[in-house]
Amino acid sequence: MLAVALLSCHKAQNTEAEIKRATLDNGLRVVVIHNPLAHVATVYLNYITGADETPSGFPGTAHAQEHMAFRGCMGVSADQTAAVFAQLGGDGDADTQQNITQYFSTVPAEDTEVALRLYAACMQHVDDQQGEWDQERGAIEQEVARDLSNPTYNFLTRLNEDLFAGTPYAHDALGTKASFDATTGTMLADFYNHWYAPNNAILVVVGDVDPDATIASIRKIYGSISRRTVPSHPGVSLQPVKAETFTLDSNLPYTLAFLAYRFPGTDSPDYAAAQILADALASQRGDLYALVPAGKALAAQFGIAENYPKASVGYALGALPAGADSASILAQMKSIIADYVKNGVPADLVEAAKRSEIAQAEFERGSIPGLAMLWSEALAAEGRQSPDEDVDAMKKVTVDDVNRIAKAYLVDTQMITATLKPRPSGAPVSARGFGGGETLTAAPTKPVELPDWAKASLNSLAVPKQETLPSDVTLANGIRLIVQTVKIAPTVTVMASIRHEPDLESPPGKDGVDDVTEQLFNYGTKSLDRIAFQKALDDIGASESGGADFSLRVLKEYFSRGVELLADNELNPAFPAEAFNVVRQQTAQFTAGNLMSPEYRAQRALDAGLYPKGDPELREATPKSVSGLSLDDVHNYYASTFRPDLTTIVVIGDVTPDEAKTTIEKYFGNWTASGAKPQTVLPAVPANHSAATNVPDSSSVQDSVDLAEELPMNRSNPDYYPLQVGNFVLGGGFYATRLYHDLRQINGYVYNVSDRLSATQTRADYTVEYGCDPANVSKARALIQRDLASMQKDNVTPEELEQAKALLLRQIPLSEASEDATASGYLRRVDVDLPLDEPFRAAQRYFNMTADEVRAAFAKWIRPEDFVQVVRGPAPK
């Protein structure tokens, strides 16, 4: 009965009163959706063009044009574009897909018109001058190098070539260095003039806005933009797939084996049935996943990728220990799929997949950016009128439909077989820190005057006020319960964390016991075995995870049953002996591969440089320590570390504090703790000394660089706040901030550069990360050190200070744009002993911050000469 009720409960995601549509005279289609989850809005401008429309031999043209929109538009320079996005909160981006190009940002609701005007300027003109492209080319080629260093990207590239040969789908939107070297500004302008037109675009706005007023603003801002003649989109003529087998090198710590098939595309009436088929095959009650508890795979799943209009990719994946032969797992996955094709997919798994998809559609409303993305994908990429069309189509899928799709598409003679084979990293090599090559003195970037239409909104700063205070109580057994009522959708999310620190809590010689314990939560409870427990979740369309961090997503009507299952898993895990033997072996095998992987070795080198010898952070699980664990070790670790008086539970959604408290007390109230609490806070450490290490990575064509140092301070130090302000002068605002301006906009050394200040009760670290060609590692570091030295010596400019404050202040409401983000924020604050409203308290500090305070904090705490530098990839030149 639960299943029948759930399949019939889905309603349209928003009422017609909340959704307004319009088509302007110039052809621009507009959808505005009112969602008052937070006082923010997300704007998506979708152009119906992408990799499909690129000229022959120039596969990255659409991607390059997307980049150029950030280098200047009609009446807005590159510096102004960056400054506007920065002062809106820094949450603006773009992406290019196969058939669409999207520009999107999430902003405070009162600033929605500023974002709309910025995108309108780019619909009128983009500065594709050769000089601008010459500067941007370096950055986009770094993006190419980054993706070519990703084994999964290389696999998908080869897969597309095999499955879609002779069609635009055979190449993605990224592009190649060779094609970018041959691309000119004139070519980009031609592409822009063909495709960037209002009658080839869909504008989606979601958030705490008035739909009618927003559409009126859009008419005013976009109505005068002239429509253009848009060329016909290229046709896609799919040829039969030829079976193919290939192996690629990988830097992952495990072997990946794939079986891939061409599946229906979004235009196909069979698309919904294909989605349900994939979900059913991926079920934890299915035969593919059963390879994991049987000890035959580290992981196994089925999924759909590359969702194009005329086709998509269905794939089965099996993960094995590094060095394992993939032939066996490929044969087993092939046999399992053949059995489903021959005998049919169980009806129960089909119905469970439908319930899950219907429930997920309700949860989409709990994120303003997520809902805007969902609508944009449905309208622009798939050609739907609403995302509800996908859900309605899946509701109509029958078992016969699923089995028909399985027979038609899961065909061995059209199957691509692939293996990603790890290549272990060479031993880390101590290295020289960096060489010179750049001037070490430079003035800060010049002040940027905002466009007139942005000044009124952005030139005045205000301290944000918290709209809603959550309920915050401590239950009798010590559980801290935080509840926030959000009546956006009939859903409830539970996110919880037990304060833990395995490096302190794991007994000597038992390293890895935390990993084994965590994985055993997937094996059911004392009353429900693994299959029965998953069946109980499937019956209510819920998703759940257990462990030191545990969670639940469930429809409101099944909240009580969902919490009952969550508590049963958390308080009464089965920890079966047979499963323990399998999980211990799998963990030891994974650990062996991980210790040899470039990513692990790079992190290990970084930790060794930051922390003193013998520090708990330097503890390391090994195959020997994991293989030596017993089931008693797991039970003892669980008993000593899983305690209610270390637990915080956040409940957010369509539930009142009283309802949540009653339910949590009912199922978690009997949980008790005994003995003294374990130590969960790491000891303070001194400042580190400089060091440099190169970690070889033969599969990478780009170097990944980490510069980090330990600061002898903690999160409660008052200098944390001026350091954060200075951090946002350096980064976080694209070209408007110093590091992006110097490393990307001016020199083109990097695609991404990020800086981060992290702090806990006892420790703090400052990190700068970037990726670049080996020849530019030292040049980029020299610029970073120059910028840091300038922060210590000279006051930041008034304009930079104001912009950094705007970034910090406007990001506060943006951090509550989804239920998950809000709940995660509460848990992070609890973990470091901060009040729940700390961001709003911090806002006043940021608002009052002076340039003198920023300079003094950088001079006191940041040591540019003491970075630990770790480079993963080819040896820097």
pLDDT at residue 506 greater than cutoff 70: yes
**Exposure of 316 by Cβ count < 10 A (0-12 exposed, 13-18 middle, 19+ buried)?**
buried
Nearest to 553 by CA among 658, 481, 652: 652
pLDDT higher than threshold 90 for residue 699: no
Is 60 exceeded by the pLDDT of residue 6? no
Q: What's the confidence (pLDDT) of residue 91?
A: 85
More confident call, 851 vs 426: 851
Q: What is the pLDDT of residues 278-306, one digit of tens each?
A: 999 999 999 999 999 999 999 999 999 99
Query: Amino acid letter at 638?
Result: Y
Is the pLDDT at 7 greater than 90, yes or no? no
- pLDDT > 90 fraction of the chain, expressed in percent and rounded: 88
- Measured CA to CA, the distance from residue 799 to residue 40 in angstroms comes to 25
* Residue 3 clears pLDDT 70, i.e. is over it: no
C-beta atoms surrounding 441 within 10 Å: 8
- What average pLDDT does range 9-17 have in this prediction? 52
pLDDT tens string 245-280: 999 999 999 999 999 999 999 999 999 999 999 999
For the chain, percent of residues with pLDDT exceeding 70 = 96
pLDDT at residue 311 is higher than 50: yes
Structure tokens at 696: 């070889």
Q: Indicate whether 555 pLDDT > 90.
A: yes
Going by pLDDT thresholds of 50, 70 and 90, the confidence category of residue 9 is very low
Identify the band that residue 459 occupies on the pLDDT scale cut at 50, 70 and 90: confident
Average pLDDT over residues 8-32: 79
Residue 729 DSSP symbol: H
CB 578 within 8 A of CB 529: no
Q: At residue 766, does pLDDT exceed 50?
A: yes
This prediction's pTM = 0.94
Structure tokens at 16: 């017609």
Q: Average pLDDT over the chain, rounded to whole? A: 94
- Where does the pLDDT of residue 439 fall: very low under 50, low under 70, confident under 90, or very high at 90 and above? very low
On the question of pLDDT at 435 being above 70, the answer is: no
Separation CA 107–CA 85 (nearest Å): 9
pLDDT of residue 14: 58
Work out the average pLDDT over 718-722.
Answer: 98
Give me the DSSP letters along 628-687. T--HHHHHHHHHHH--GGGEEEEEEES--HHHHHHHHHHHHTT----SPPPP-SPPP-PP
- pLDDT on residue 424: 73
CA–CA dist 563, 554 (Å, integer): 9
Q: Is the pLDDT of residue 496 over 90?
A: yes
Q: Per the structure block, which two tokens stand in for 119?
A: 């995108």
Report yes or no: 151 and 253 within 8 Å, Cβ to Cβ: no
Q: In whole angstroms, what separates CA 532 from the centre of its chain?
A: 31
Instruction: State residue 17's pLDDT score.
Output: 62
Model confidence at 436: pLDDT above 50: no
Instruction: Please tell me the predicted confidence (pLDDT) of residue 5.
Output: 43
Q: Is the pLDDT of residue 430 over 70?
A: no
Residue 834 is inside which H or E element, if any? none
Query: Between residues 464 and 434, which one has the greater pLDDT?
Result: 464
Is the pLDDT reported for residue 676 higher than 70? yes
Secondary structure class of 694 (helix, strand, coil): strand
Residue 427 pLDDT greater than 90, yes or no: no
Tens-place pLDDT, residues 207-221: 999 999 999 999 999
Q: Is the pLDDT of residue 437 over 90?
A: no
Tell me the pLDDT tens digit for each residue of 723-764: 999 999 998 766 678 998 899 888 989 988 999 999 999 999
Instruction: Measure the CA dihedral 787/788/793/794, to 10°.
Output: 50
Rounded to whole angstroms, the Cα distance separating 457 from 453 reads: 8
Confidence of residue 381 (pLDDT cuts 50, 70, 90): very high
- Torsion (CA) 347, 353, 358, 364 in degrees, nearest 10: 180
| The predicted structure's pLDDT at residue 426 | 72
Res 448: pLDDT? 84
DSSP summary character for residue 864:
G
pLDDT tens digits along 107-145: 999 999 999 999 999 999 999 999 999 989 998 999 999
